[in-house]
Amino acid sequence: MSEGRGARGQRTRREPLRASGGTPAESSKSAHAGPMARSAGTQPAADELGAWKAELTPGLGTVDLIDGYDPYDPFSPIGIRSQVLEEPDDTLQIGPLKKIYLIWMVGASCDGCTVAVSGGTHPRVEHLLAGIIPGLPRVELIHTVVSTESGPEWVHNLFMAERGELDAPYVITWEGSIMDESVAGDGYWMGLGDDPQTGRQITSLEWLDRLAPGAAAVIAIGTCATWGGIPASKGNVTNAMGTMDYLGKDYRSAFGVPVVNVPGCAPIGDNYLETAAATLLFLNGLGPLPEFDELGRPAWLFGETVHRHCPRAGYYEEGVFAEEYGDHECLVELGCWGPVVQCNIAERGQIDGHGGCMNMGGICIGCTMPGFPDKFSPIYEVPPGSYLSSNTSRVAGGFIRRMRNISRIDKNMTPRWDKDTPSGWARSRTGPKGALKQVHKFYAKYQHSHESYN
């Protein structure tokens, strides 16, 4: 029984392990047999196990059985979902949604999007899964890389979702291109699980067919899932395509949402997590409906070209360009596509503000765009059009840069340093000389002419 609130308002709890499903031993016999279950099994040491179960899992809440599976039952086949997590028992509930399932499915994927999201920090994925972000529902993740259950137990989650037996809505995140299984003959491009009745191989695409209609939302993550990406580029034997291509223009999720697209190869983990968090806040009645552009991208993330926030854009403005790999100036003449590519990596960085393409010296190869990779290749070739713009900037920016340098030299002098700096680091006079000095005198007069003390 719950002990109620402690002295400082924190709840301490010691509830019985389960209130439904009979005794531990009974339930383990009936509903929780493992993959090897056969009817003639014996139950050695069941009492001992029962005692252990109570001892090992103090504080687990009471939950209802879902289709015979109790996610908090350590007797379930190995690691049915996050069996070790405690169901929060807050009385202070922010928003109506307490839990949501995230079914993460893959097609022609490299797992890079999964890896990118696991590196995200706003919010951290483990915080979403633990349900410890105020106002956000707990996210229960069904993902082959993370789940503790394997094989048929894992696939069972998908069957439950299809039959509407999950106790909360589910969102599908699709990673990787969609491969056309109709051109795979008797085989498959990507198999995922067997049908328990017939033993038939199920493809991962079949799961999208079965689950998309009932999903609260379908979020395509990464350039493969959004637009098709590399598997869909020249030489594509699997007839690969993006999620929208497959589900069609008219697709709407159970909540009425078209496919949401978070592109990038790999995407910035935080772009996905932030979009997910904003959507969950909206579903919980707390945040506004996030804004998406006409391709279903989060508009606040992909509305600008990456060049506009590039730390090297100032060099472009002044007409200074890197000539060799490793130089610190603007990379446009090394083949950077930043000025026309919609992405936010320049201001956001890759992980927790660190890294990023141009930030570190890498050219933009257009990996967030529907035209990637074919319209950006050969990747290290300079696009001819960029010379037009870079030479224009070389002329105008070159003039501006020289003017700025004149001012900068003057502004590096204190009023006291009329002729020279007292710095031992300086080799010779550093201030403006000769005619420039006169120019500065007049300029300073003009600059301060409107000020009242003159």
Partner 1 sequence: MCFKNLPIDFDANGKATLRDGVADPYAITAAKPKGYVRRQEGPGAQLAAPPKLRDWSIDPVTRVAGALAVHTTLDLENRKAVDAYSRAMLFRGYEIILQGRDPRDAIDISSRACGVCGGVHATVASLNIEQAFGVCPPPLGLAVRNLGEVGEMFYDHPLHLGLLAGPDYSTSLVSVTNPELVKRAEKTPAPGYEVHGFRTIKDIMDAMNPLTGKIYLESLEYTRIGRVMCMLMYGKYPHPSTLVPGGLSTTITTSSFNEYYTQLGKIFDYTKVMIATWDDIADFFLEANPAYEEVGKRPINLIQTGIWDDTDVYDATYANCNEWGNRRWAKPGIIIDGKLVTTNLTDINMGYEEFVDHSFYDDWTRSGSQRFATDPNGNPISPYNPWNKETIPRPTATNFKEKYTWDTAPRWDRKTVETGTYGRMWTTALAGQTPENPFLEATGDGLRMVLPRHHLPETEVFWKVPRSINALERNRARAYAMAFTSTIGMNCLLKAFEYWRRGETKVSTPFKVPKDERVSVGFWEASRGFLVHHLHMDKGKLLNYQITTPSTLNAAPRDPFGGMGPYEEAVVGTPILESVSDDEVKGIDILRAIRSFDPCMPCTTHMDTGKGTIVREVNSCGCTLE
Is residue 236 near partner 1 by the rule CB under 8 A? yes
Is residue 208 near partner 1 by the rule CB under 8 A? no
**Phi, psi (5° rounding) for residue 130?**
-80, -10
> What minimum distance in Å lies between the beta carbon of 443 and partner 1?
34
**Phi, psi (5° rounding) for residue 349?**
75, 180
Binder to partner 1 among 65, 168, 184, 278 (CB under 8 A)?
A: 184
Nearer to partner 1, 231 or 298 (CB): 231
Nearer to partner 1, 86 or 304 (CB): 86
Is residue 454 near partner 1 by the rule CB under 8 A? no
Is residue 144 near partner 1 by the rule CB under 8 A? yes
- Binding to partner 1 (CB under 8 A): which residues in 36-55? 36-45, 48-49, 52-53
Is residue 325 near partner 1 by the rule CB under 8 A? yes
Nearer to partner 1, 33 or 299 (CB): 33
Contact between residue 319 and residue 401 where contact means Cβ atoms under 8 Å apart = yes
Is residue 330 near partner 1 by the rule CB under 8 A? no
Q: Which stretch binds partner 1 (CB under 8 A): 206-214, 270-278, 373-381, 421-429?
A: 373-381
**Phi, psi (5° rounding) for residue 245?**
-55, -40
> What minimum distance in Å lies between the beta carbon of 45 and partner 1?
7
Closest CA to 115 of 57, 175, 70, 167: 175
Binder to partner 1 among 4, 96, 185, 384 (CB under 8 A)?
A: 185
- In angstroms, the CA 368 to CA 234 distance is 18
- Binding to partner 1 (CB under 8 A): which residues in 419-438? none
> What minimum distance in Å lies between the beta carbon of 250 and partner 1?
28
Closest CA to 76 of 92, 65, 61: 65
- Binding to partner 1 (CB under 8 A): which residues in 73-92? 74-75, 77-79, 82-85
**Phi, psi (5° rounding) for residue 351?**
-130, 120
Binder to partner 1 among 108, 241, 306, 343 (CB under 8 A)?
A: 108
Region of 60 (left: φ > 0; alpha: ψ -120 to 50; beta: rest) is: beta
**Phi, psi (5° rounding) for residue 158?**
-70, -40
Question: How many other C-beta atoms lie within 10 A of the C-beta of residue 126?
Answer: 9
Binder to partner 1 among 34, 134, 213, 303 (CB under 8 A)?
A: 34
> What minimum distance in Å lies between the beta carbon of 223 and partner 1?
9
* Residue that has been written with the tokens 């105008």 in this structure: 396
Binder to partner 1 among 61, 88, 95, 121 (CB under 8 A)?
A: 121
Tokens representing 388 are 């037009």
Binder to partner 1 among 179, 276, 330, 332 (CB under 8 A)?
A: 179
> What minimum distance in Å lies between the beta carbon of 449 and partner 1?
42
- Binding to partner 1 (CB under 8 A): which residues in 252-271? 265-266
> What minimum distance in Å lies between the beta carbon of 239 and partner 1?
10
Is residue 294 near partner 1 by the rule CB under 8 A? no
Is residue 59 near partner 1 by the rule CB under 8 A? no
How many chain residues interact with partner 1 (CB under 8 A)?
A: 112
> What minimum distance in Å lies between the beta carbon of 199 and partner 1?
6
Using DSSP's 3-state secondary structure scheme, residue 286 falls into coil
Cβ neighbours for 426, distance < 8 A, ≥ 6 positions apart: 420
**Phi, psi (5° rounding) for residue 275?**
-65, -45
> What minimum distance in Å lies between the beta carbon of 174 and partner 1?
14
Q: Which runs of consecutive H residues, i.e. helices, occur in 295-343?
A: 299-302, 313-317
Is residue 102 near partner 1 by the rule CB under 8 A? no
Binder to partner 1 among 62, 342, 377, 430 (CB under 8 A)?
A: 377
- In angstroms, the CA 243 to CA 175 distance is 9
Is residue 378 near partner 1 by the rule CB under 8 A? yes
> What minimum distance in Å lies between the beta carbon of 356 and partner 1?
7
Closest CA to 353 of 305, 297, 325, 311: 311
> What minimum distance in Å lies between the beta carbon of 377 and partner 1?
5
Bridge-based pairing of strands 217-221 and 170-175 is parallel
Q: Strand order of the sheet with strand 99-106?
A: 138-142, 99-106, 170-175, 217-221, 260-262
Sequence-ordered strand ranges (E) for 35-145: 99-106, 138-142
> What minimum distance in Å lies between the beta carbon of 38 and partner 1?
5
- In angstroms, the CA 39 to CA 297 distance is 52
- In angstroms, the CA 203 to CA 205 distance is 5
